[in-house]
Amino acid sequence: MKNKRRFYSIFAVILLLVLTTALAGCGNTNRSSGSSKDGKVTLTFSMWDTLDPNKTDFIQEFQKKYPNIKIKLINIPNDYSQKIHSMLIGGTAPDVILSWEADVNGFAKNGAIDPLDSYIKKTEAFNMNDFIPAVSELNKSLESTGGKVYGLPWCYATEFLYYNKDMFDKAGVPYPNENWTWKDYEAAAKKLTIRNGSETTQWGTDAISFPGIWYSMAGSAGDDIVRNGKLDLKDGLKKALEFQNQLTNVDKVSPQPSSGGQVADLFAAGKAAMTRQGSWYTLGYAKNDFNWDMAPLPKDERQYASLHTGFFTINSASKHKAEAWKFIEFMMSKQGQTLLSKQYHNPSAEKSVMAEGAYKSTGEHGPSNWDTFDKTADAGRFGYVLLNPTVTDDLVNDFNSVLLGQKKIDDVINKDVPAAQKKLNEDK
Amino acid sequence: MKKGKMTWKENLSAYSFLSPWIIGLILFTGGPIIVSILLSLCKWNLLGSPRFIGFANYSQMFADSEFLNSLKVTIIFTIISVAVSVFAALFLAVLLNFKVKFVGIFQFFYFVPAVMPSVVMAFVFKLMFNKELGVVNYLLSFIGIHNAPNWLNDSFWIWPTLAYASIFTYSTGQMMLIFASSLKEVPPELYEACDLDGANFVQRFIHVTLPSISPIILFNVVVATVSSFNSSFTLIYPLTDGGPNNATEVLSLSIFKNAFKLFDMGYASALAVILFIIVAVVAAFQFRMSKNWVHYDA
Amino acid sequence: MEPVQTSKLNSKVKHESEVKMKKGTGTKALQYALLIIVAIFMAFPIIWIFSNSLKTLNGISEYPPKLIPAHPQWENYVEVLKNSNTLTYLRNSLILIVGNTVGTLISSAVVAYPLARMRFKGAGVIFAIILATMMVPTVTTIIPQFLLFRQFGWLDTFLPLIIPSFFAYPYNVFLFRQFFKTIPRSIDESAMIDGCNRWQIFTKILVPISKPIFITVGVLSAIYWWNELFTPLVFINSENLKPLTIGALSSFKVQGATNLTAWNLQMAMAMIMAIPPMILYLFANKFLVAGMKTSGLKD
């Protein structure tokens, strides 16, 4: 009898423990940030990169400046845009959201984020006239909702051609430069591909793993990508698909793309002589153990690279808006922007900060062509990033299907692009 | 009089025991099914309130080639994964029934993949089956196959890959255990009778083993079919995310994407209703075929 | 006459058993060989995970792939464990497992009891409904559940994942029922004569002797929740609430290259994730098989 009672009391204790931990998990949510009795405020901040808050300078410095505000980082590496939407709907979105370009307008229209004009008027940390032209224009276009500013750009990024200098030297091929056309690119890739029997031991260029590159190619070949809020993909896309197909299946200088996510960065692994990637790869490639550098993307009819940024926005349901602004203000100040530049090697969108070059970080083996940023920024457009990422990503799956021999180019242009447009229309 | 009171008390007692399940049925199973049906007749993206649109979602569905593709893919996947799972489980169980020493060790190795989280297995399969860098194509090059397929990116070769992956699932491991224990319960006299007639291993298997465990085989097939509708997500999402080119876009994946990525609740609910109907039909069909293994107490 | 015959018979039997022995050793060798080959096949992915967990990121892209890397990077494991997220994910998985297992053990046993033991009106119908609901995949009910939990304000907590287990999962009810049916009714009846009511019979008599099935269902539930991906993916967003399955999907990305996973660390994490279930299996092996047996289905 006693044993049984003991059994049940242990059981009850375990049950109690379980329920308390479960409910503790409930109370631990980021529905709204907490403020404890000693006046400390916890601010939740979301972004898409994996960061350790204790090792991240901009978080540490901010917390030093405002000791009563603690930053809680919400890291969402996959499906960022969709997750934020989900959190806004569920009422659990963070105080400060680093929003994608495609989302800011929608969030503003739905009242999910607050206008920042009243804060901007009072601040001295930065100047609205200091932004690079593309960003200023984007800001203006986003002001469609009542002429207000809803987000401030955290930095900006674009896309580059990276190349392995050692492989180029070995093959006797001159380095890429800003005059390179698609033909030059193809010719170099052919010379840089090394085969051993039926195996390719060195690829001329890696497959496309970042969707932006596809759109930059179509843009370079003449399409506008986005015009009046609608997809503009016609002949440019056709040329891009034909060219990439040529590289992959005819010249065989580029491997086939992988579905379900990339397995390896062949360029970083020393298996591919070139790659086209986001400009933020200068951070990761700093660890490369071969000599490398970068150049603007090869052009067809014109120079075109997609521009990327993210906007600091304040959740309108936040309970700590004053603190949220303090964080954004800090991040947009020279100090914050410099720290960000050093962290990510992305230039600031504020011209004065960019000029100081804190984003330039040369590793042991490169790069040195930092002016690639300037050369590219002039031709950079915010193109596909203004549209729903689910749709633009799915479309890239269709592009890759052409390379895998599963679809015809005409099908993509005549069926998939209009279908994507339809999905975009429904979104409204 | 007393008897009537007794049964009334019995009924009350029984239903009080059953009460948690009844609540659960209303809140988490039955209720949701009804809500799903209602939602499927609306258009809603979680902002504002649902808008009734009748059967528009369904007509959109049947006109959409992507849906018909999902349907086809789901059926193919279910058939392949169930067949492979059951066959692999039976094969492993037969092996474990050998009268050898160290059976426990072998059982450990055969069951361990079942307890690995499927995301983990998905990762290693991605590495193993990578066209350029994977070990599978490397091993194939030893037996002279140099133009090995792009396993994960080819809409045909993805199926053998998925079939291979089905062997390493929890469902297979669980069925293996069930088969293993039921094999041990086959009456030895039946085997002895067979041996006296001079039968070899294969004949024994076909004429004695299979018939004896046929109820178990049927049960496992039903369980495997139902669980494949769930586990299709856990296996396919991390491995291919519906690719290549929607070749593995099973219904469970499609429902997830429509509901939680595109936030089209109405359409996703309609898909869910269709899936439910399919499962119900398949289950009913299998029940009809297996009247000899389930007893309802009156 | 007889001795010759018996000796002839003896030698025949001896001959036969010799043949059987010979056949035996030959077959045995074949059996071992088959068992070993299959074991290598089954264990290969796990060996491969281990092998990759000791490589550098670029080492994974090496071709031809090496089984044993030249410089095993044991530091990968250290880095994974030092990552503050790993332990959080582990804690969360454990919370889900314990919560669900406790809930399902209690509720499934309670609900199975009347189905196994009592004659009451509607018993057949109830049991049929339970079997039918066993067939409903989670995917079909997830959307309304999402909306329901949103109403409660339970999104992004553990509650949607644990509370339903307290309301009886049909499969476990089925297993409990089958087990209870193997316990002789006489025990119940003698207790009733002694004046116990149904609840007392359940708690004081049936439960204590049902240890095997409790362990079986408990272990099955634990393994299931160690592996569950779909429901946490829908309900949980916060980093500090993610269980291992979701954390593993995305936690080891190369910084600044968000679509590239740090595979070597991912594999190290995978090995770490594999160990608890393996240990659980070793301990619970006997019970698992016994539990399966009594779920007999040869009703």
* pLDDT confidence of residue A98: 93
A107-139 confidence digits (pLDDT tens): 888 888 898 888 888 888 888 888 887 777 776
The answer to whether A80 and A48 have CB atoms below 8 angstroms apart is yes
> pLDDT band at residue A8, thresholds of 50, 70 and 90?
low
Mean pLDDT (whole number) for A12-19: 55
Distance (Å) of CA A372 to CA A150, A178, A205, A347: 30, 8, 19, 12
For chain A, percent of residues with pLDDT exceeding 90: 31
Q: For chain B, which chains pass the contact test of at least 3 CB pairs under 8 Å?
A: A, C
CB contact under 8 A, C256 and A18: no
CB contact under 8 A, C158 and A25: yes
Cα distance between residue C93 and residue C244, in whole Å:
6
Q: Nearest CA to CA, how far is C61 from chain B (Å)?
A: 6
Q: Per-residue pLDDT for C246 more than 50?
A: yes
Answer whether residue A77 shows pLDDT above 60: yes
Q: Is the pLDDT of residue C299 over 60?
A: no
Chain C CB contacts of A31 below 8 Å? 153, 156
Note the helical H segments in A200-280: 211-220, 235-245
Residues B90 and B220 grouped into a single domain: yes
Q: Where are the domains of chain C?
A: 2-53, 76-294
Residues B165-211: tens digit of each pLDDT: 999 988 888 888 888 888 887 888 877 877 777 777 777 777 778 88
**Residue B133 touches chain A, beta carbons under 8 Å:** yes
Task: Chain C: list its partners (3+ Cβ pairs within 8 Å).
Answer: A, B
Do residues B67 and B33 share a domain?
no
From A50, A90, A264, residue closest to C251, measured CB to CB = A50
Q: Residue A29's pLDDT is what? A: 41
| Same domain assignment for residues B7 and B125 | no
Q: Could C204 and A4 be called an inter-chain contact, meaning their C-beta atoms sit closer than 8 Å?
A: yes
State whether residue A16 sits within 8 Å of chain C by CB: no
Q: Work out the pLDDT band at A33, boundaries 50, 70, 90.
A: very low
Lowest mean per-residue pLDDT among A351-355, B247-251, C200-204: C200-204
Give domain status of residue B116, yes or no.
yes
- Both B8 and B75 in a single domain? no
CB B267 within 8 A of CB B60: yes
Peptide bond into C164 cis (omega under 30): no
- Say what percent of chain B tops pLDDT 70: 95
Instruction: Evaluate whether residue B45 is within a structural domain.
Output: no
The enclosing H or E element of A112 equals none
pLDDT mean over C175-183: 83
Q: Per-residue pLDDT tens for A316-346?
A: 999 999 999 999 999 999 999 999 888 888 8
Listed residue (B151, B170, B172, B169) closest to B248, CA to CA: B151
pLDDT one-digit tens code per residue, C6-49: 555 555 555 555 555 545 677 788 888 889 999 999 999 989 88
Structural domain contains residue B49: no
User: C130 contacts in B (CB within 8 Å)?
Assistant: 21
Minimum distance, in Å, between the CA of residue B121 and any CA atom of chain A: 14
What is chain A's mean pLDDT, rounded?
A: 83
Q: Which domain holds residue B31?
A: 1-39
CATH of the domain at B238: 1.10.3720.10
Per-residue pLDDT band at A14 (split at 50, 70, 90):
low
pLDDT at C5 over 80: no
For the packed helices A389-403 and A417-427, what is the interaxial angle rounded to 10 degrees?
Answer: 170
Burial of B57 (C-beta count, 10 Å sphere; 0-12/13-18/19+): buried
CATH of range C76-294; options 1.10.3720.10, 1.10.287.3510, 3.40.50.720, 3.30.360.30: 1.10.3720.10
The answer to whether position B194 is within a domain reads yes
Report chain B's mean pLDDT, rounded to a whole number. Answer: 83
Question: Are both B77 and B208 inside the same structural domain?
Answer: yes
Pairing of strands A230-232, A225-227: antiparallel
Say whether C259 and A87 touch across the interface (CB within 8 A). Answer: no
Q: Are residues B63 and B17 in the same domain?
A: no
CB of A201 within 8 Å of a chain B CB? The answer is no
Q: What is the pLDDT of residues C125-157, one digit of tens each?
A: 888 888 788 778 888 888 888 888 888 888 888
Contact A401 B244 (CB under 8 A): yes
A297: phi then psi, degrees, rounded to nearest 5: -60, 145
Number of inter-chain CB pairs under 8 A, A vs B: 71
**pLDDT in the model for residue B205:** 79
**Residue from C149, C153, C130 nearest C141 by CA:** C149
Is residue C90 predicted with pLDDT exceeding 70?
Answer: yes
- B139 part of a folded domain: yes
Among the ranges given (A69-73, A378-382, B86-90, B101-105), the one the predictor scored with the smallest mean pLDDT: A378-382
How many domains is chain B partitioned into structurally? 2
Which residue is it, tokens 């297996």?
Answer: B290
Residue A196: enclosing H or E segment and its boundaries? Answer: strand A194-196
Q: Is the peptide bond before A367 cis (omega within 30 degrees of 0)?
A: yes
Work out the pLDDT band at A167, boundaries 50, 70, 90: very high
Beta-carbon contacts below 8 Å between A and C: 128
Instruction: Enumerate domains of chain A plus CATH numbers.
Output: 35-156+308-356 (3.40.190.10), 159-305+373-426 (3.40.190.10)
pLDDT at A169 over 80: yes
Structure tokens at B198: 């001079």
Q: Does B50 touch chain A (CB under 8 A)?
A: no
Q: Can you say whether residue A310 is alpha, beta or left, with left for phi > 0 and alpha for psi between -120 and 50 degrees?
A: beta
**pLDDT-derived band at A250, boundaries 50, 70, 90:** very high
Determine the average pLDDT of the residues in A35-63.
79
How close does chain A come to B163, measured CA to CA in Å? Answer: 17
Residue B236 backbone class (left: φ over 0; alpha: ψ -120 to 50; beta: rest): alpha
Q: What is the pLDDT of residue C6?
A: 54
| Distance (Å) of CA A84 to CA A11, A28, A139, B263 | 40, 18, 21, 12
User: Is pLDDT above 60 for A363?
Assistant: yes
Cβ contact C260–A265 (<8 Å): yes
Mean pLDDT of B12-31: 86
Taking 50 as the threshold, does the pLDDT of residue A30 lie above it?
Answer: no
pLDDT value at residue C98? 93
Q: What is this model's ipTM?
A: 0.81
Among C92, C156, C229, pick the best mutation site for testing chain A contact (most A Cβ within 10 A): C156
CB contact under 8 A, C141 and B28: yes
**CA–CA separation, C120 and B18 (whole Å):** 12
Strand segments (E) across chain C: 253-254, 257-261
Give the model confidence (pLDDT) of C250-291 as tens digits: 777 766 566 677 888 888 888 888 888 788 878 777 766 666
Tell whether A425 lies on the interface with B, counting CB pairs under 8 A.
no
Residue B172 lies inside a defined structural domain of this protein: yes
- Confidence class of residue A261 from pLDDT cuts 50, 70 and 90? low
Mean pLDDT of the B27-48 span? 85
Give the count of beta carbons closer than 10 Å to the beta carbon of residue C294.
Answer: 18
- What is the distance between the alpha carbons of residues B183 and B97, in angstroms, rounded to a whole number? 7
Distance from CA of B155 to the nearest CA of C (A): 23
Split at pLDDT 50, 70, 90, the class of A18 is low
Cβ pair C244:B297 closer than 8 A: no
Which among C52, C118, C128 has CB closest to B127?
C52
Q: Are residues B127 and B212 in the same domain?
A: yes
Nearest CA in chain C to A75: C239
Q: How confident is the model at residue B1, as a pLDDT?
A: 45
Say if the Cβ atoms of A284 and C255 lie within 8 Å.
Answer: yes
pLDDT tens-digit series, residues B91-103: 999 888 888 888 8
Same-domain status, B161 and B254: yes
Least confident segment among A35-39, A360-364, A372-376, C71-75: A35-39
Does residue A357 sit at the C interface (CB-CB below 8 Å)? no
- Average of pLDDT values for B66-71? 89
Q: What is the pLDDT of residues A232-242, one digit of tens each?
A: 898 999 999 99
List all residues 6 or more positions away from A190 whose beta carbon is below 8 Å from its beta carbon.
A204, A251, A253
pTM for the predicted model, two decimal places: 0.79
Q: Token digits for C211?
A: 């240890």
Q: How high is the pLDDT of residue B154?
A: 83
